[in-house]
Every structure is written in C-alpha cells, then in structure tokens.
C-alpha cells in the first residue's frame, strides 16, 4: 500500500487517498455511498450555507451521518417536496444531466383552470426565454374556488421551469410540490422528514441514469 510491501496487518485504508495494489493491479474499495430522500419544507434553501441565515436542507439531514451530502439538482425556496441528497457524485451528475431525461413529477396549484389549449401547449412544449421546453405529461387533478391542481412531469431541470411553463400559459403557480424523481416517490414522508433510499429504489434510479446494474442487485 502506498509503495509499502506488504502493509502491516490491520492497516486502515482511506478511500480516495491511499493507493492499494495487488500483484501490480489497483484495488478500489467498495464504494459506500449515502442516499437520502428529504421532504423539503417551504422556506428552506437548497444550499450548504445561506448568507441571509435562512434554514438549509443540510441542517435537516445532519443526522443522516454523512459528512459530505449534496443535493441532486435544486428546488426553489418556496417549492416543497422530494429532494435527493447523496455523496455519490457520479450518480448525482448523471441524474442532473439533460441527456438522461430523468422524469421529475410535480403537483402545482395554479390560478384559474387551464383549458385544453393550455394543456396542449404544455404537452407539446412552450417557448421560454431560454428556448422551447421538451414535451411534458400534464393532467388536471381537480379545481375549486378559482384554483386548480395540475400534475406535471418534465424531463429537464431548468431554473424555475415549472413556474415559468405555467406562467407562459397564463396560470401562475401558487404552490408547487415535487412528488417524484425518476422512480422515487415522496409518498407519506412528512415535511422536514427524511429517509434513506431503499435498495430497490437505488437500483431503479441507477437504471434511470443509464447505469444499468440490475444484475448486481440479484442475490
């Protein structure tokens, strides 16, 4: 290890720092990553530190016991719902990369009731200042008292994309919740609560990010 042959028994190896070879071949330690699903509440910012002193998502997942978790993509401060955090940089980068078109599901409460024309526009793609959006899945869930709940699935992650798409068709967002990220669902996680990703969810998430390793999961 690190040029010493053989190392004393019981030597501790620090992944990413120590270099271990056996018969001249590099041996990589098994990666031991952390994956956390957080229900981000409104008013909590998705940064490590906030100059304005607002609460951060990092504060909410401190007890997850991982020293260097970072968020997969962003949610606006006002948006609530599912945020993945991990120290697995490769998976995080792939999930955030537009090439993999990982589905993000949102439930938006909007002003007014979008008509067929608005829904068609959202489904086909709307023109925003940074270009046309990819086709989205859109469904009206219900309406009452001048507000409407809309389920929207997008496969990009542009800044404030859902709010801008709904603004563009004349139905500004009053409330926005992310309910799904790829195969992962928010389900009944309470606001501010977090849980570890289940092994089957991790396999499905890796597949969604183009890291097909379903075989690794079988016994």
Of 7 and 73, CB closest to ligand URA: 73
List residues binding ligand URA (CB under 6 A). 75-76, 79, 160-163, 176
Helices then strands, each counted (H, E), the chain: 6, 13
Q: Which is nearer to ligand URA, 36 or 81 (CB)?
A: 81
* Other beta carbons less than 10 A from residue 93's beta carbon: 12
Block residue for tokens 């997850």: 64
Report the length, in residues, of the chain.
219
For residue 50 the two structure tokens come to 């906030």
- Nearest to ligand URA of 86, 161 (CB atom): 161
Q: Which of 187, 188, 180 is nearest to 205 (CA)?
A: 180
Distance in Å, CB of 17 to ligand URA, minimum: 36
Which residues partner with 106 through β-bridges? Answer: 152, 178
Residue 50 or 76: which CB sits closer to ligand URA?
Answer: 76
Question: Interhelix angle for 116-124 vs 161-168, to 10°?
Answer: 140
96: helix, coil or strand? helix
For residue 126, give the 3-state DSSP assignment.
Answer: coil
C-alpha closest to that of 102 among 211, 207, 186, 208? 208
- Measured in degrees and rounded to the nearest 5, phi and psi for residue 194 equal -140, 160
| Nearest to 30, CA basis, from 216, 205, 219 | 216
For ligand URA, the closer of residues 35 and 106 by Cβ is 106
Active-site residue numbers? Answer: 76
């Amino acid at each position: 290890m690190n040029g010493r042959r053989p190392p004393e028994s019981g030597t501790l190896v620090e992944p990413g720092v120590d270099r271990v070879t056996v018969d001249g071949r590099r041996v990589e330690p098994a990666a031991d990553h952390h994956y956390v699903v957080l229900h981000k509440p409104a008013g909590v910012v998705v940064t490590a530190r906030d100059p304005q002193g607002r609460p951060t998502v990092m504060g909410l997942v401190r007890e997850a016991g991982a020293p260097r978790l970072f968020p997969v993509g962003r949610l606006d401060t006002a948006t609530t719902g599912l945020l993945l955090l991990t120290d697995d940089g490769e998976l995080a980068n792939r999930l955030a990369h537009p090439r993999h078109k990982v589905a993000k599901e949102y439930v938006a409460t909007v002003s007014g009731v979008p008509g067929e024309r608005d829904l068609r526009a959202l489904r086909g793609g709307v023109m925003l200042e940074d270009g046309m959006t990819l086709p989205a899945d859109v469904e009206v869930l219900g309406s009452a008292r001048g507000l409407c709940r809309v389920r929207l699935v997008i496969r990009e992650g542009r800044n404030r994309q859902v709010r801008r798409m709904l603004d563009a068709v004349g139905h500004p967002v009053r409330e926005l919740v992310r309910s799904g990220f790829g195969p992962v669902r928010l389900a009944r996680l309470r606001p501010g609560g977090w849980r570890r990703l289940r092994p089957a969810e991790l396999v499905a998430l890796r597949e969604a990010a183009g890291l097909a390793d379903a075989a690794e999961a079988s016994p």
